[in-house]
Structure 1
Amino acid sequence: MFASATAIAHHGEIIQGAFHDAADKLHRGLVTLPFTPKHTTAFARITDNGGDISVQPPSKTKALGAVRLLLKDRGYKGSGLRIDLRSNIPDGFGLGSSTADIIAGLSATARLLKFPLKKRDLFRLAVRAEKASDGTMFLKRPRMVCQREGEVLERFKNSLPPFSLISVNADPDNPVDTLKYPPARYSRDEIAEFDSLRDQLRAALDKRDLHLLGEISTRSAIINQRYLPQPHFDDILEIARKARAAGVQVAHSGRMIGIMLPPDAHYTDRCVRTIQSGLLALGLFPEFHRTPHPYEG
């Protein structure tokens, strides 16, 4: 007897910063960019090993910790469990590998044991297990989540507009250990700008305005460049601007940078070939993806 579940990666964030709530309290928050080309699949099964809970490969300790938290919360006293994880997400570059492992592992376990598990439950368990988590469990209609608190700051009414993405790892030899980097200490001016960008994001989603969305993600990337600098960032930004891309977005705690293009872009288009040539000239290896995130048409 077994159950399976799949969780997608993310390609960093549309925006990440510090934002005020309705009571004027400040929170660290972000809006995730889901990324469907990368994913983790988990297979959970009951074993006869005396109640032991294990995960394969054994290095996936955060997923194991999350499953143990779920079982403890639900008072599980049954047989042993084994969760096998299969993933094409590289670790340490801001693609959400550990979050995908956790979501897939929790979902497969809950399905196997017939535990009801809401998306908000998944988010809170993910934060408890890995200290900070993106919101990849919330698909179609994005949330602004407090990645270290396990709370949702805002539920947006509309989904992300469709767009294509040229993805590039800006520093493939230097993965980032998120928890070793202290959280950014934003200035008052930066926090004020983040609050403004949040209002603009709401408008961009309401209008399904890709160019405004690109401007917002670009500004967030520029602000956060001061705290976790991405190699080649200025060059990539200039390549995107010359090609009249909608904008750039980054993994604010990783190394991935995305150049946002219209949804009908094709890999043979001149602008796509120009961008890819510019990235190759920097010694980087781009990938082109059409509409790489789920959305409601």
Structure 2
Amino acid sequence: MTTSAPLAPPVPADGPVPGTGHAPSHHGELLQGVFLDAGGRPCAGLVTLPLAGPGTRADFTPRPGTPPDAVTVLPGDRSKAARAARLAVAVCAGRTGRPARGGTLRLTGTVPLGLGMGSSTSDVLAAVRAVADAYGLRLDPGTTARLAVRAERASDPLMLDARPVLFAQREGRVLEVLGPALPPLLVVGCLLGDGAPVDTLALPAPTPTEAELRAYADLRDRLRRALAEGDAALLGRVATASARRAQRLLGHREFEPLVALARRTGAVGVQISHSGSVAGVLHDPAVPGAAARADATRRALDAHRIPYTRTFTAGPPTPAALQGIHAVRRPWTEKACSLH
């Protein structure tokens, strides 16, 4: 891992400056379960589906004479981001030799809360980056991941680059880089469980049997092969299998109807947030008629009264025939998505 690199000449100790940080969100997972690490130890791990769209901006304003643990956060309920800012202040002060100061952290963004889109990680990551920016630093991904896990106990891999990775979310480390990129995907997003928020950390900790470990290892192997071969259909089967296993905990009543309508509309599979309610129907944009199939999927969601949210693309650049389709979306509102 690289070390922190200064972004600008050191700021005098008596002249603190504000810092700004940004972080994305995601659209749930393609795979989540328990996997063996390089040492043969079982670890909870996940592979997220990137989403270019909702994100968080953080602005950190240091206050001279303020104790380092005195961080005020706005909105006031974002305690994990405040904790992350305090941890980042200690790290950045230690690396620069500048005073450790508290201050005000202001968060703004469009990531829906409690749906399994990484809202807390987005807040935490933006906060860490804002503090680092105030100290003239850019923290490396490994340091950022460790701070995120300390702040929220489990973190999504939003601090990493776009390569699909199997990430140990409770340890803040990469178990495997699965490939250079996802195959092209066209995703029709929706909400299960009426969009009700899920308390991720309240879910039972996984205690897999040997048979379950073998099943997760098989899904990992198949996903690795799907990425190596650019096989959207195989990826869709892996995502569906992983989502179905998660229903033992989540129990969304709409899940099987979602799988059935995906099959009817020519999708390659479905994906969900394994700790939330966001879900997506996956189409292969390389197959002719993808845009029409996405439209049919939206109509089928409406017919089943499953709230539709957005259509977007993932993976390499979008084929010309689908340029702009990611702009087809409905706003995240209480009326449309039962959000609170």
Question: One fold, TM greater than 0.5?
Answer: yes
1:274 deviates by: 2.0
Query: What is the one-letter code of the residue matched to 1:26?
Result: P
Structure 1 range deviating more: 1-10 or 55-64: 1-10
Q: Structure 1, residues 101-142: CA drift from partner, whole Å, max 9, x if none?
A: 011111111011123411121111111111111112223112
The 3-state SS of whatever aligns with 2:137 is coil
Structure 2 unaligned spans of 5+: 1-16, 319-340
The 3-state SS of whatever aligns with 1:28 is strand
In the alignment, is residue 56 of structure 1 matched against residue 74 of structure 2?
Answer: yes
Question: 1:25 maps to which residue?
Answer: 41
1:60-71 matched pairs, under 5 angstroms: 60-71=78-89
CA distance in 1, matches of 2:147, 2:85: 9
Root mean square deviation of aligned Cα: 2.2
Question: 1:246 maps to which residue?
Answer: 268
Question: 1:94 maps to which residue?
Answer: 116
Distance 1:171 1:253, change over 3 A: same
Question: 1:45 maps to which residue?
Answer: 61
TM-score normalised by L of structure 1: 0.92
Structure 1 unaligned spans of 5+: none
Question: 2:220 maps to which residue?
Answer: 198
CA distance in 1, matches of 2:287, 2:159: 27
Q: 1:72 aligns with which of 85, 90, 102?
A: 90
CA distance in 1, matches of 2:280, 2:317: 21
1:295 deviates by: 4.8
The 3-state SS of whatever aligns with 1:164 is strand
Q: 2:297 aligns with which of 275, 278, 282?
A: 275
Structure 1 range deviating more: 58-67 or 44-53: 44-53
Q: How many residues align?
A: 296
CA distance in 2, matches of 1:177, 1:251: 12
The 3-state SS of whatever aligns with 1:225 is helix
The 3-state SS of whatever aligns with 2:251 is coil
The 3-state SS of whatever aligns with 1:227 is helix
CA distance in 1, matches of 2:63, 2:217: 50
Identical aligned pairs, as a percentage? 34
Query: What is the one-letter code of the residue matched to 2:271?
Result: Q
CA distance in 2, matches of 1:62, 1:265: 43
1:92-241 matched pairs, under 5 angstroms: 92-172=114-194, 174-241=196-263
Contact 1:14/1:31, CA 8 A, preserved across alignment: yes
Distance 1:48 1:263, change over 3 A: farther
Contact 1:13/1:33, CA 8 A, preserved across alignment: yes
Distance 1:265 1:81, change over 3 A: farther
1:216 deviates by: 0.9
Query: What is the one-letter code of the residue matched to 2:82?
Result: L
Distance 1:146 1:79, change over 3 A: closer
1:40 deviates by: 0.7
